[in-house]
Amino acid sequence: MSALLKVTDLKKSYGAIQAVGGVSFEVQPGEIFGVIGPNGSGKTTLFNSMLGQITPDSGQIELKGENVTQCGPMELNRKGVGRTFQTLQVFGKMTVRDNLIVAAQEHQGTMFSRMFAPGDSGLGAKADALIDRFRIRHVADKKAGELSYGQQKLVDIAMAFMSEPDLVLLDEPCAGVNPSLVGGISTLLKDLNRQPAGAKKSSFVVIEHNMDFVMDLCHRIMVMVEGKVMAIGTPEEIRGNKQVLDAYLGA
Amino acid sequence: MKKNALIAMVVSAALLLLVPQFLKNYGIYLLTYWLVFVIATMGLNLTVGYAGQKSLGQAAFFGIGAYTVAIMLKAGISWWLGLPAAALLCFVVGLGLGFPALRVQTIYLAFATLGFNTAAWLIMRNEEWLTGGTFGINNIVRPGLFGFSLEGNLAYYYLVLAFAVVLGVLLLGLLRSPWGKAFTALRDNPIRAESLGVDIRNYTLLSFAIGAAYAGVAGGLFASLVQFIEPAPFAVGASIMMYLMVVVGGPGYFLGPVLGAAVGVVVPEWLRDVPGVADWYLPLFGAAVVLLMIWLPEGLLSLPDRIKAKKQAKEASAARMASAQAASKSGTSS
């Protein structure tokens, strides 16, 4: 099976500081891949490169065999990369339902044809299905900005799945979320991975500080330290890796 | 709610059609003036209120539209060709003004557009061969339609009303299509919008271009309304006034400009005629705007939403109170 995402020898420096110094890994179709590492280990820079927010100095990112190293965020999204944000990023003045619809409408037709498309772009049923899955039916017609933090977090994650992406990058999905909802998000993500919202199966890449969450959710985990890969393996392998324990988990 | 909206529509249509019949010339003129500004600020509402691009250059487009129609009329070209030309020219120039918005936002974008307005105004004032400079262009005629002259104030009012209604319906259609959501997404969170495949570059540029085209049509209608144009009404101050109309009415509310333009055009004129207030109408108007911004920073049309939100909060707290009481009661009885 060919890899869905293939990152080869990625490097990015800011002045004299090398944030990411030659990182390589692959993500298989349907896989949940975790990225962990202490603060300043280059996780965010790696993520931003994969999302087209920044252009790496060297190295290559391939999505489904296509070189996407130079692509911007919009292009990447249209090629099948969805994402969630570490901080809340919903459209506050739109209803939850409209937030979900706008998350997929630009994947249909052309700009010109969308001018004459129905207001919900025919995505109403799909949005409703995700609303039910995320159990946010009771707030579906409320403005997203009026919801609680946890509810907005759920909307944010649901938005990433509206366009049936091949790959979803989750940037600290548990940041600021209360412990009871952490479990809920974990269950949701596992469920979405097993039983996708659309026809396609999505792979996930997750950055998260909550160890229990990562160990429980991910199929494989990559540990980054000082811009380099220290280890890649299953949660059991990572737990048993002495080097990792010393550098990170032992702390 | 649907029924109420229908009734409101019928009543406003009747008012707009019938009231001018009972007004003197000045009243009709003032209503037409108001409609012209409704069109211009409708466009600005798209740029500022829906797409969130802080533009202080709308009066420049208003002027470009007015001069295009006036100059083409002088060259013997039909008004009915001049007006679309004005809209098209403003669309293209508006597209150009959108480019700075791809690099700078908020107050910096406001300054950039302000600079554009100043430059446009200087061209209107200094290029006498084209614009007549400070002497302006006079004897601008009003158009005819199917052999009917629209020279009379009442006839011209109905023409402007027709334009306002058609342009309003077109804008409403656009805002109800997926474009409306894309513009709002761009305003609320451009980074998130981009990550969802929204082409923020194209939507930014088009929000400027379409808004500018509306100002161009309004400018053309304005030229034939006042029949004499010179650079003053297209200066930076006018742009700020239009921005104010959008903000007062409620940016991002479809009917905001209707109300905002009324406040910006009709209220000052009306205050001017009230005995005893005549000398004070400008400070009074200014003070009213300041108070409005303190109490209703999201504009007049945000008032119903505010009341609704307050009512909901009240109900929610009452429900919490009731459930707390019920809980304590069941606690004591058991």
Return the minimum-mean-pLDDT range out of A192-201, A231-240, B219-228.
A192-201
SS3 at position A126: helix
Cβ contact B194–A74 (<8 Å): yes
pTM: 0.90
Cβ <8 Å between B177 and A106: no
Tell me whether B182 touches chain A (CB under 8 Å): yes
Q: If DSSP codes are grouped into helix, strand and coil, which group holds residue B230?
A: coil
Contacts of residue B192 in chain A, CB cutoff 8 Å?
85, 89-91
- Mean pLDDT of all residues in B238-266: 92
| Residues in chain B closer than 8 A to A98 (CB atoms) | 181, 184
Who among A89, A104, A118 is closest to B192 (CB)?
A89
Give contacts of B 199-218 with A, CB under 8 A: 199-200, 202
* Helical H segments across B189-280, by residue range: 190-195, 200-226, 236-249, 256-261, 267-273
- Best mutation target, B192, B199, B201, B210, to test chain A (most A CBs within 10 A): B192
- Tell me the count of A-B CB pairs closer than 8 A: 88
Per-residue pLDDT reduced to its tens digit, B110-168: 999 999 999 999 999 999 898 988 899 988 889 888 878 888 899 999 999 999 999 99
Q: Which region among A1-10, B38-47, B72-81, B238-247 has the lowest average model confidence (pLDDT)?
A: A1-10
ipTM for the predicted complex comes to 0.90
- pLDDT value of residue B334: 44
Interface contact A106-B196, CB threshold 8 A: yes
CATH code given to domain A1-80+165-251:
3.40.50.300
Architecture of the CATH domain B19-298: Orthogonal Bundle (1.10)
pLDDT score of A1 = 54
Task: Yes or no: say if A136 and A158 are a contact pair by the CB < 8 Å rule.
Answer: yes
Kindly indicate the confidence band of residue A249, based on its pLDDT and cuts at 50, 70 and 90: low
Kindly list the domain boundaries of chain B, sorted by start residue: 19-298, 303-334
Chain A CB within 8 Å of residue B198 CB: yes
Give CA–CA dist B21/B16, Å, rounded: 10
Distance from CA of B263 to the nearest CA of A (A): 26
Q: What is the mean pLDDT of residues B212-225?
A: 97
Averaged pLDDT, B185-203 = 94
Q: What order do you get walking across the sheet with A5-14 strand by strand?
A: A17-27, A5-14, A58-63, A66-67
Confidence of residue B331 (pLDDT cuts 50, 70, 90): low
Mind listing the pLDDT tens digit for each residue in A214-227? 999 999 999 998 89
Between CA A241 and CA B184 the distance in angstroms is 49
Asked if B82 and B73 count as a contact pair (C-beta separation under 8 A), the reply is yes
Average pLDDT, chain A: 90
Say which of B179, B184, B193 has its CB closest to residue A93: B184
pLDDT in the model for residue B278: 72
Q: Number of C-alpha atoms within 13 angstroms, CB side, residue A114? A: 23
Q: Is B218's pLDDT higher than 90?
A: yes
Name the residue ranges covered by the structural domains of chain A.
Answer: 1-80+165-251, 90-164
Is the CB of residue B255 less than 8 Å away from at least one CB of chain A? no
The C-alpha atoms of residue B80 and residue B142 are separated, in whole angstroms, by 10
Residue range B289-305, pLDDT digits in tens: 888 888 888 888 988 88
List the structure tokens of A32.
């949940």
B45 pLDDT more than 80: yes
Nearest to B197 among A107, A118, A119 (CB): A107
* Residue B305 touches partner A, C-beta closer than 8 Å: no
Percent of chain B with pLDDT over 70: 98
